[in-house]
Each structure stands twice: as structure tokens, then as C-alpha cells.
Chains A and B, each alone.
Chain A
Amino acid sequence: MNDQLKFLSSKVTKGLMTRREFVGRAAALGVTAAVANTMLSDAAKADGHATPKRGGMLRVASDGGESTNTQDPALTASEVPLNNLRAWGETLVEVTENGEIDYRMAESVEASADAKQWVFKIRKGIPFSNGKDMTAEDVLKTMERHSNEDSQSGALGIMKGIAGMKVDGDNFIVDLETANADLPFLMADYHLMIQPNGGMDDPGAAIGTGAYTLEIDEPGVRHAFKRREDYWDSENRGWADEIEQLVLNDATARTAALQSGQVHAINRVDPKVAALLDRAPNLSVQSASGRGHYVFIAHVDTAPFDNNDVMLALKYAINRQEMVDKILRGFGSLGNDMPINSSYPLFDDTIPQREFSIEKAKEHYAKSGHDGSPIVLRVADGAFPGAVDAAALFQQTAQAAGIPLEIKREPNDGYWSEVWNVQPFCASYWGGRPVQDQMYSTAYLSTADWNDTRWKRPEFDTMLNAAKAELDNGKRKEIYSQMGRMLNEEGGLILPMFNDFVSGVSNNLGGWVTDGNGGMMNNKAMIRCWVNDA
């Protein structure tokens, strides 16, 4: 780094220059924005911002909370309750920002040679917030609660492949029906917070092994937590004495709260205002590319989508770059009609990217022999932010290729019950899954409940099972690559873009890392960040 840049970056950390000005000056000196940003964070680290600080009150404002929320991990489905879970609870393992396994309640994991039996060694002497020590028995009960057919747990699907579970001393042992090399990743699912007696007595009591205890629980308004003195991993988490999460579902209200310094971080910054917000001197916009994707899904067992030429015509007729630029405002990346991107381990980047081509779309449409009747695409903005606009862009380019795409706007209300997974062609989104196996098992296995493209291919299922059992990563990658290519060529999924997680972060917050596993540092911002002037 040359002296002039060093001088300038120190000005930024001292608050004498805005980040934006710095990036501008750096560009004038021939440095790209990405490099300039790295320089800034290095300068900030040198300035002492990288040393964690204990104490103070950390406050965030989040979208995705309602007055109907509970603290029961089984029923957790949106951002606010998820942030809460991470504050008071922990799972067996977590996935780090680099996609590796981070051991939490389990201190080690071992698989049998055929990947059908998994042994989790459970840590000793870790107290729940009610004072009782966590045991392998509690782990077993937790998993039993989530695997019970009567349970309403969102993790029920994950637990289905488990043939049996037992406790042996400090070990929690899982036997699988079919081998699965990725089981530890599945155990990182946020529903599976370890609770005393598995949460069978009072699932919403918010008692766990996390760094904080719940003090105030006003669903849809705010949730406040206090740091636990007896937290086992206080060297790495739980810096602030108190944390508070305000529920601000209105994007403008959230932005205003950050700008006026009332909160340290906000989630889901509207891409429309992100660039403007980033100009403010006291905060920055942090974007993490993840596995979430915005899609148009067609049932491949229903006319006219059972005709692969119609599908290919539609796939070629969508202008992905335009979608990323106009709908995501650059906060995202191109999709390739398969639900996997480079955020996944074992992703094959040699699969060719499908390009926008009016000619090819015309060609396939002509070849399909479609009768020219309107192809109805159902959308609502509830499907994903900007879905209606995205559909309008799609319609324009499709019409240019002579495809009679018709948009039917549906109400947000009831979209997930009346349209998604019911109507043959509609807009939707997926949050992604930690590993390819789970993503495919959830939505592309012939028997999957959420097979929203009606993709039923025995050979695909066979490949998926083969990959599950394969412990050699090279061979698994090869199988996954074939599966990806197959979906790209014949699937009912039209996937124009992967969306980033965009957060707004005050300069007064330390410890922010980019984590594409989920929004707000995979919902760990409150427990892993600290307040600089605490």
C-alpha cells in the first residue's frame, strides 16, 4: 500500500473522510473499489477496531418479525425469531463463514466408513441458562422432538432419513437409513437448538446454552437479552452486556434508525437505497453473496412445461444480467437454472453459463410446436422483493422472442398456500441450504414434499443417493456436476439470479464478517459483534 493511500485510509478511520471519498481517491490512484475496501478494513484493524470490546448495549433493527412470533425453535421461520434463537441457543455444530464445520455442543464428529453411523461427542460441563448442565440425553430429546411425526418442526424433513438415535455415555449416535456424508451440515440447521429435555416441557421458554438470556420478549416489537456470566465460549462470543433487537419491518424506518444512530445494524437494506446509504459517513453497507435465489418455477409434468423446448425457450428468453442490474441493483449474481452456485462446497464452475439469446429462444419455441396460447406466469411481490418488476422484464424479452408470456398478478396474502406449489408457473424464492445434498433432497427428489417443479427423475434420485454415500469429494463433485447439468438442461427451474444479503452497519460496530450462510452474519451479528465505544 503506498504512503498516500495509507495516509488517506487513516483519515477515514479517524472520521476525517468518508469511505466513499476514499474509494474515489483510491480509484484515481488506480486501485479498484474492492481493494480499497480491504485497505480500509486493514486500516481499521490497525486502528484498534479489530480488538473485541466487552460491555455496552448492542442494538439492531430487523425486518421479518411479527406479533405472532414465538421462541420455539421448531416454529421459527423468519429473520427476527432466528436472530433470537442464536442469542440464547446453540446447535450441535454450526457452519462458519468459510463453509466449514464449527463445533458447538458437539466437540467432535466421527463417521463410520460407510457414512451410515455418525457419532457426536458432546461437550461436558456446559450449563443451560436454567443452571442445569447440558447432556447427550438433552441432545437426544431435542432430536426426538424434531423428528416426531406429530411435531410441527420445520426440521422434520431433515430428520426423516434417520433410522435411529441413541446415547452412549457422552456420545450422541445417529444411524441413517441411507448413507449421508453431509450429516453434520444438516445438524447445523437452526431449528435444532439444544434445549433441556429437548424442549419437550416448554419449547418456547428460551432456555439454551447460548451467550445470552432472554429478558424482554414482546413479539413484533422488541426482544432484549442480557449476557450470561457463565457462558462457556465467552472468549469468542457475547461481547455486549446487553443486546436488543427492534422489529422494524418498514424499510424506511429501519434505514432511518440506522442513520440517526439508534441502532448499530439493520438487515435487508433495500437494494434501491443501498448505494445512497453507503455514502453516509458513519456507516457502511455490507453485502454477502449467498445461496438464496429468486426463481420462476414451472411444473415439468404439466402442459406446456412438459415440453422441454418450451422450457428452453423460456430459459433463453430471460435476460439474467438485466435482472441482476435492475432488480437487485447489482447486489447479487447470475443464476444458471440450477439451485447451486459457488457458495456451495463441491460446486463445479465449469458448467457453462446460459446466455440470454432471443434467437435460441425463438428456435426452441418454434421447435416446441406450442399452439401460441398465453403462458400464464403468476407473481406477487411477496414471492420475492421486486418479483412483479422482474416478471415484467421477463415478459418483455419473452415477447421479443415471440413467446406469449402473460403475467397474472396475485395477492401477497395467501401466496404460499394458493399459488406456490399449486399453480403450474409462478415466481418464488429459495433461501438455499448449507450443502447440495440438502438442497436437492428438499426440492428435487421425486418424493420431496416441496418438489415445486414436479421434477421426478429416477436417475436423478439414484445419483443423489450415490452422492450421499460417497465419501470421496472428487467423485461426489462429479456426480453433483452431472445433476446440475441435468437440471440446467431439463429442469422446470428458471433461475435468473442469486440474491445477496445486504445489511447496513454502523462504524461503531466491530467484528463484522461477511457470511453468505444467512443474513446478518448468518444471524450471528448480535452475538459476535461488539460496540466500539462501549
Chain B
Amino acid sequence: MHPIAKLIVQRVSLGLMLLFAASILIFGGTMMLPGDVAQQILGQSATPESLANLRESLGLNDPPVARYFQWLGGFLTGDLGTALTNGRDIAESLGFRLKNTLFLAFWAAVISVPLAIFLGLLAVRYKDRWPDKVISAVTLTTISIPEFMIGYVLIYWVSIKWGMFSSVAIINDGMSLAEKLNAIAIPVMVLTLVVLAHMMRMTRAAILNVMQSAYIETAELKGMGMLKIIAKHAFPNAIAPIVNVVMINLAYLVVGVVVVEVVFAYPGMGQYLVDHVSKRDVPVVQACGLIFAAVYIGLNLIADIVSILANPRLRHPK
């Protein structure tokens, strides 16, 4: 087998093993939560009889191991079961939420990734001069402010004061693309501001790191222009670390946007997961958890593989 193919197969199987481990951790974690789903559904209004009845009808009296394998089997065959709390089909509810989360993440990524890389390159080009300093100062400021704060500030100015975009980001299938984009405009701005600095700084650092290499010096001595050196020699060699940080931020845009979803009432995965965690709705929590884990592991896998492909020493094995 070609060494690269072998490496990729290794990585993918490692990813699958990680995913399996994650499912066990998620299940164990949900077991450790105080109270159970029946207690959470009934809340303060729980009486011993209604608790016992609900427990029985939800199948909470079965042993946990049996429940785990039953669920895992269902997951592998595409049957996620029904939510314990409201009896809705999990695959259906989750599909709707996942689609929304990906929609928001997609537009945030489309804006933030090119912008971050462009700003990173600009910062390198004008290293230690005012554009570099301004870019760093602004992006580091926005990453340092909590997301909900940026969200509230943008809602106040953009939505209430200027009346430009909606402060509620609830979208539905009946809306046109333009309406949807109007609804998610402010959350996309928040997410962009939150992830920009990380990617921009990493791009800048990775390229500067490469710029100190001997072959860049050679290129300089040959009399190549600065932009050309960055584009032709420095950037390709900095791809691996940049892809890594981009993937981490993409994963964040999918799995880490709970706060933004809450502030803008966006019907995504995060809010759905939080609601079901607080109700101890184990099947839903596990399904969400596993999907989040899959997104994280998958994107990191892609980053790994891209790094391998971008590394000439691996591409041309001796």
C-alpha cells in the first residue's frame, strides 16, 4: 500500500475508535447526572405515583448496559428513536436542527475564513507597521469580549438603534434565502468576530515562522518581491498549521455556538442539546453528543490528512 494511503486508513480507523470511546463517555456522563428524566419532566409537580408511572412507561427501569447497546444498534441503522420527553422522532427533530446549525456555520465560515487568511497575509506584509497593529488590536479585542456581550451590543446598535437586521434569528422553511440571511446577519457577525482572531493570528504566525527559513532568505537574495515570496514560497509551507486552526474554528462554529443560539433564539443543535440535557433525555443527548463528536473528529481528520498531503516529506517517501 502507498504510505499515504496507509496513513490515511490509520487515521480514519483511529477516528472511528475515538468515536466509539466518545459514545461510551457520553453515556456514562449522562448516567452521572443527578435526578432522572421522569423527575425532570415532572419537576416540582412530581408525586411518587406519577414518577413511578412515568419511569415505567419510559423504560427507565431497564439496565443501563442494555439501553446503551439498544441505542447504539439503532444509531448505526439510522434509527435514533424517539425523545423520551415529548415522544418526537429524534432523527427528524435533529435533522431540522443540524441543518440550521450547518446553515449558520456555513455563512459564518464563508465570511470568516477568507477574511482571516487575507488579514493574516496583510499583517505579514505590513509586519510591525500600522495595518498589522490595527488588525491585531481589533481582532484580539473582539475575541476577548464574551460572545453574548458582542451579541447584545450588536443587537442594541444594529437592530434596535439602526433598525437594520432582525434581533430574533428564528428561521423556517417558508422563508426565502434573502429573508433567512437577514435573520442570521447579526449572529453571523458575532461568530465572525469571535473566530477571526484565532485564525488570523495563526496564519500570521505560521507564515512568519516560514519566513525565517533559509530558502526564503535565498528567494529574497534572488531579488523576488515580498508578495510573491509570501504567496509562492511561504504560504504553501504554512498550509498545515493554518488548515489545523481553520478546522478547529469550523468545528467550533458547529458545536460551540450554544451561547449565540440562546441570545438570538436560533433553532440550532446547541439549544436543543441543552434543553434535553436538563431533562435527562438520554437518547437525544447521546445522539447530539455523538454528532458533535463526529464533527470534531471528522474535521480534525481532514486537517490531519491535508497536512500529510501538504508535507513534501510524506508526499515523496524515500
Contacts and interface: CB of A to CB of B under 8 A. Distances in A.
Q: Do A and B bind each other?
A: yes
Interface of A: 61, 66-70, 75, 77, 149-154, 156-157, 204, 216, 218-222, 246-250, 252-253, 256-257, 259-260, 262-263, 411, 413-414, 416-418, 420, 428, 449-450
A153 B51 CA distance: 11
B263 A246 contact: no
A247 B156 contact: no
Interface in B124-158: 148, 152, 155-156
A68 B267 contact: no
B43 interface: yes
Nearest to B39: A417
Contacts of B172: 216, 218, 222
A68 B156 CA distance: 30
Contacts of B148: 252
Contacts of B156: 256
B168 A253 contact: yes
B44 interface: yes
B170 A67 contact: no
Contacts of A246: 168, 170, 265
Contacts, number: 130
Interface residues of B toward A: which range?
Answer: 35 or more
Interface of B: 33-36, 39-50, 53-54, 57, 83, 85-88, 93, 96, 148, 152, 155-156, 159-160, 163, 166-168, 170, 172, 262-265, 267, 271-272, 275-276, 278-279, 281
What are the 9 A-B residue pairs with the smallest beta carbon separation, nearest first? A414-B34, A417-B35, A68-B85, A70-B86, A66-B275, A221-B267, A417-B39, A449-B47, A256-B167
A156 B53 CA distance: 12
A460 B33 CA distance: 39
22 contacts: A67-B271, A67-B276, A68-B85, A68-B276, A68-B279, A204-B87, A220-B271, A220-B275, A221-B170, A222-B172, A246-B265, A249-B265, A250-B265, A256-B160, A257-B168, A260-B155, A413-B34, A414-B33, A414-B35, A416-B39, A417-B39, A449-B47
Give the interface SS of chain B, mostly helix, strand, loop or mixed: helix
B266 to A, nearest CB: 9
Nearest to B44: A416
Nearest to B83: A68
Contacts of B54: 152
Contacts of A263: 168
A420 B44 contact: yes
A151 B263 contact: no
Contacts of B275: 66-68, 220
B86 A219 contact: yes
Contact of A253 (B36, B43, B264): B264
Contacts of A67: 93, 271-272, 275-276
Contacts of B86: 68-70, 204, 219
Which among A66, A218, A249, A260 has the highest number of chain B CB atoms within 10 Å? A260
A449 B278 CA distance: 24
Contacts of A153: 50
Given A68-B85, A154-B45, A256-B156, A222 B170 contact: yes
